[in-house]
Chains A and B, each alone.
Chain A
């Protein structure tokens, strides 16, 4: 018994040292890092906002007020066949044929029952609905990566913007977008796209298309805020996105999307 005492003390010392060593290694140097003022500010300011869009195709009536408002709000040539947002009409016939049109991007609504020049009698229509489309503000935007001059970029709220002064109008981004959400601004000769009405959202207003939709088919929300009604729908209901297979992680969510929608 007496002979064992020094061994015990040796063991105690060893265990002590090992514990302290492990604790010292586990305490990463990051814990002692002093944040710069801008880094500290980033933690308290605006970092908890990421805009997402929610389109309810069950509600859309194809009035086209969103397109009209968007073009006027964002000063896009009114009569040019281009638009930041557009509405597509789908008519699926009972024989399986799908007819799709979007006259003038849906700016003047759908006032003619004939689609693609065909007057489909109501008895032959299996499904008929409208799908509003806009920039998906992808989490991994392919349009940004291809810009050779850094004229398009993503901000912390997730919105992809175009620098009109810096854009050289090469059109790579227009080609890169799998959703055809970008186009060439015929007046300014630069790439053009939806930016969720950034000039309105920074002032606390809703985008023009959201405000002017009479049926609430278009909504914007902050996915980082669990109490946001849009977040609740995106997280709890059955939503889908367009062209998920491209890996762009689009942030425009759709309710009631049909397989005929491309």
Chain B
């Protein structure tokens, strides 16, 4: 065969051999076709294990109830029973071993997530008791009057004279009306 035919053929062959060699060392050994075939699951099998070992942060309130039995029973008996502890207290990972005390979110914005009144006729949100944050004691912490573990109970204002009184009267007293 002529030389000018063989030479480009050799170049192509060399490129192919280099590609195969590089690929052999570069692609991890556990790169295989998975359960969904080549199109959907050609992957590094070890990655599934890596994801399975990813750390779990949210522990659920059953975990909290093991120690904080009193608060658990209190909230379970209230309309706030649908809310997980970790929504206000933060994820419990590392508590109590490394993180001694979990931060408590006492901001108004936390309560407003559900209790800003939105009059939406086709949503459950419209049926939740709500306030207009601009009108209802702006700047005050909600939990200075309302007990988040027992929202229907008596008020728990910082002012001892007002503790235990009716919330409507308490509010009037705070506002000086």
A residues in contact (CB < 8 Å) with B: 42, 58-65, 68-69, 72-74, 91, 108-113, 122, 125-130, 141, 144-145, 150-156, 161, 163-166, 195, 198-200, 202-203, 205, 208, 211-212, 214-215
Contacts and interface: CB of A to CB of B under 8 A. Distances in A.
B60 to A, nearest CB: 6
Contacts of B31: 150
B109 A125 contact: no
A205 B52 CA distance: 12
Contacts of B109: 108-109, 111
Contacts of B118: 62, 110, 113, 128
B119 A166 contact: no
Contacts of A195: 51
Given A109-B112, A110-B116, A125-B121, A199 B54 contact: yes
22 contacts: A58-B123, A65-B83, A68-B87, A109-B109, A109-B112, A127-B122, A128-B119, A129-B123, A144-B40, A150-B31, A150-B42, A150-B43, A153-B42, A155-B41, A156-B34, A166-B47, A195-B51, A198-B52, A200-B56, A214-B114, A215-B82, A215-B124
B85 to A, nearest CB: 10
B151 interface: no
A165 B55 contact: no
A79 to B, nearest CB: 15
Contacts of B39: 144-145
A169 B91 CA distance: 30
Contacts of B132: 113
A91 B41 contact: no
Contact of A212 (B40, B44, B53, B86): B86
Contact of A63 (B41, B48, B113, B117): B113
A127 B121 contact: yes
Contact of B47 (A108, A129, A163, A199): A163
A52 to B, nearest CB: 16
Nearest to A152: B43
Contacts of A215: 82, 124
A54 B35 CA distance: 24
Contact of B120 (A59, A91, A153): A91
Interface residues of B, number: 47
B87 A69 contact: yes
Given A127-B120, A154-B36, A199 B86 contact: no
B121 A161 contact: no
Given A163-B47, A195-B51, A111 B116 contact: yes
Contacts of B112: 109, 111
Contacts of A199: 51-56
A96 B86 CA distance: 40
Contacts of B146: none
A211 B55 CA distance: 16
Interface in B106-153: 109, 112-114, 116-126, 128, 132-133
Given A69-B87, A125-B121, A153 B116 contact: no
B57 A208 contact: yes
Contacts of B57: 72-73, 208
Given A111-B112, A163-B47, A65 B120 contact: no
Contacts of A211: 58, 60, 84
A65 B113 contact: yes
Contact of B121 (A61, A72, A128, A214): A128
B125 to A, nearest CB: 4
B127 to A, nearest CB: 9
Contact of A60 (B43, B86, B123): B123
B113 A64 contact: yes
Contacts of A141: 40
Contacts of B123: 58, 60-62, 128-130
